[in-house]
């Protein structure tokens, strides 16, 4: 379950101020609804994707015995 700031609060912030977990969660959520998003939703999703790309992606650099390389955004 996602525990964090909701889209109402985040929409008033620059994407560069979002946490990685927030970017990952909302990217995943919007990605699954792409066929149903209106122009504003597609724009927000595009901004999230650009911010993820600006950060070099969201993968962990190393895996250890408790974490894999894929981020968990629950």
Q: What is the pLDDT of residues 15-66, one digit of tens each?
A: 999 999 899 999 999 999 999 999 999 999 999 999 999 999 887 666 666 6
pLDDT band at 1 (very low <50, low <70, confident <90, very high): confident
Per-residue model confidence (pLDDT) at position 54: 96
Whether residue 2 contacts residue 25, with contact meaning beta carbons closer than 8 Å, is answered with yes
Question: Would you kindly state where each structural domain of the chain is located, as residue ranges?
Answer: 20-58
HSE, CB side, 13 Å, CA atoms: give it for residue 3. Answer: 1
| 11 contact partners, CB below 8 Å, separation of at least 6 | 44
pTM given for the model: 0.79
In angstroms, the CA 65 to CA 47 distance is 34
Per-residue model confidence (pLDDT) at position 59: 73
Other Cβ atoms within 10 Å of 70 Cβ, number: 11
């Amino acid at each position: 379950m996602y525990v964090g700031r909701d889209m109402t609060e985040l929409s008033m912030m620059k994407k560069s101020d979002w946490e990685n977990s927030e970017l990952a969660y909302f990217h995943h959520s919007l990605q699954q609804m792409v066929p149903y998003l209106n122009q504003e939703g597609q724009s927000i999703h595009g901004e999230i994707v650009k911010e993820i790309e600006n950060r070099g992606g969201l993968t962990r650099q190393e895996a250890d015995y408790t974490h894999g390389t894929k981020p968990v955004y629950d």
